[in-house]
Homo-oligomer: A and B are copies of this chain.
Amino acid sequence: MKKYDVIVIGGSASGIATAITGKNAYPNKSFLMIRKEKQAIVPCGIPYIFGSLHDTKKDTISDKIFEKNNIDLKIDEVTKIDAENKTCTTKDGSMISFEKLVLATGSKAHVPAWLDGANKENVFIIPKDKDYLDQAIKKLSSAKKIVTIGGGFIGVETSDELKKEGKEVIIVEKLPHILGTAFDDELCEAVEQKLKERNVEFITNMGVSKITGDDKATGVELENGESISADAVLLTVGYQPNTKLASDAGLSLNEKGFIRVDEYMHTDNHDIMAVGDCAEKRDFVTRKISTTMLASTACAEARIAGMNLFKLSAMKTFSGTIAIFSTALGDTGYGVAGVTEKTATQEQFDVVTGSFTGVDKHPGTMPGVHKQTVKLIAAREGGLVLGGEVIGGTSTGELTNLIGFIIQNKMTVNNILTAQIGTHPLVTAPPTAYPLIKAAEAVARKL
């Protein structure tokens, strides 16, 4: 029987990051990655294979990183974990033993049981599966009109890409706003305005009662009885953790169905860790169990797991998920870090908010300048920063990450008011009106 010091199951973002961080931290240990997909693809890039990239081949992760890092790779599927004897059994009949095991089994696109017609032809989900996606691109190429069920990130980004390719697209969202679970209303409204400009249609506050058609989908019927005809239907209503292997192995799941983990990413078996979409998440601010699934969060968990595999570091723990999202439509970026005002208020935090709109280059006459808005959400108590939102140009992602650092390091509005920043006409807002600082001033006035 083959024996490895560490086996990682799952070869997407968090599996890769665990294996590489782990091997880096423990170079003398042997690492095996077991992945069922022949070819790993970049998960966040999937919406863009339907437009900008035109092909799944352009959205792949090369296996060279395993060779380079001296990590063995086995394309196979683990069918059973024997936690007591510390072995994995795979589809090809191998049994491999481990000292430490990391579950990075990810999530699968959710098909709601109540939705009638989801198994018809020309109904597509967005799984992290190259073969499926290749087929979907091919079949969608002849579709003229597409209905997307679900106005979350995957739904919005994929719909926008398909529109760029000349399709007629309409998003149907059950919540009052597009991206409504991620952003505060004013940011959702900005996204909706941008979608309108880009001729991506959408209906909000409206559920879908069924997908119509015989064998092939011909559209959807809405909860108000109206029908929308379409040549294809995209189903993007979220993902669910892959946890069967874990629960079969006797590991505990939480009330939302994720694998229970501690702040070092241990499951309730000290030799088995779980990371990424399959692992339990707790919100950094609200401390509630969260269902946020992000490749970036997954990789943060993965680094923690990798570093703590054989030797625990009390300085390197995962102390809760700070939801940090960013996206872009055309040249406009949208980002959020931490809790929104909506969530903070629901959870009964006593918060103060402030926002400021300026420009992302300066002076405002600079070619390529884009408006930049920053909103901050801070606790009235001590001015602790709990969240922030950004609308801007291409620097939105990094500015959102800066706010993420502020939140996870428990900084207050004072830390922003006294902050030194660097500014330059071509790459940032002006020093006199840097929106992050002006937003902090707006908060401070109310404290």
Q: Complex Cα distance A224/B7, Å?
A: 65
Q: Mark A298-316, 1 if CB is under 8 A from B, else 0.
A: 1110011001000000011
Contact (Cβ within 8 A) B418 A366: no
Whether B365 contacts A431 by the Cβ 8 Å rule is: no
Inside 8 A of A423's CB, which chain B residues have their CB? 44, 295-296, 299, 326, 397
A283 to B42, CA, bound (A): 42
**Residues of B contacting A300 in the complex (Cβ-Cβ under 8 angstroms):** 418-421
CB distance from A263 to the nearest CB of B (A): 10
Query: In this assembly, does A441 line the interface, its C-beta being within 8 Å of a C-beta of chain B?
Result: yes
Beta-carbon contact of A17 and B53 below 8 Å: no
CB distance from A410 to the nearest CB of B (A): 10
- The answer to whether A45 and B316 have CB atoms under 8 Å apart is no
Q: Which of A296, A303, A424 has the most CB of B within 10 A?
A: A424
Whether the pair A441, B366 counts as a contact (CB closer than 8 A) is: no
Residue of B nearest to A57 (CB): B365
Complex Cα gap A108–B406 (Å): 36
Least distance between A261 CB and chain B CB atoms (Å): 15
A212 lies within 8 A of chain B by Cβ: no
Interface mask (A2-32 → B, CB under 8 Å = 1, otherwise 0): 0000000000010011001100100000000
**Is A52 in the interface zone, CB < 8 Å from B?**
yes
Contact of A45 among B61, B295, B399, B425 (CB under 8 A): B425
Within 8 A of B (CB), among A55-70: 58-61
List the B residue with the shortest CB-CB distance to A336: B422
Which residues of chain B have C-beta atoms less than 8 A from A441's C-beta? 21, 24
A284→B419 CA distance, assembly (Å): 12
Q: Is A401 an interface residue (CB 8 A)?
A: yes
List of B residues within 8 angstroms of A304 by Cβ: 418
B421 and A296: CB pair below 8 A?
yes
Residues of B with C-beta under 8 A to A427: 326-328, 333, 335, 394-398
Q: By the criterion CB–CB under 8 Å, are A431 and B295 in contact?
A: yes
Q: How far is the CA of A434 from the CA of B13 in the complex (A)?
A: 12
Contact A422 B397 (CB under 8 A): yes
Looking at A79-87, A197-205, A227-235, A317-325, the stretch in contact with chain B turns out to be A317-325
Known: A16-B432, A58-B365, A315-B418. 13 other contacts (CB 8 A): A44-B430, A45-B366, A45-B425, A53-B363, A59-B363, A307-B417, A317-B418, A324-B422, A394-B426, A397-B426, A404-B419, A405-B405, A409-B409
Ordered by A's residue number, 13 sampled pairs between the chains whose C-beta atoms are within 8 Å are A44-B425, A47-B425, A297-B420, A298-B431, A299-B423, A300-B419, A300-B420, A303-B417, A315-B414, A316-B414, A324-B421, A326-B422, A402-B405
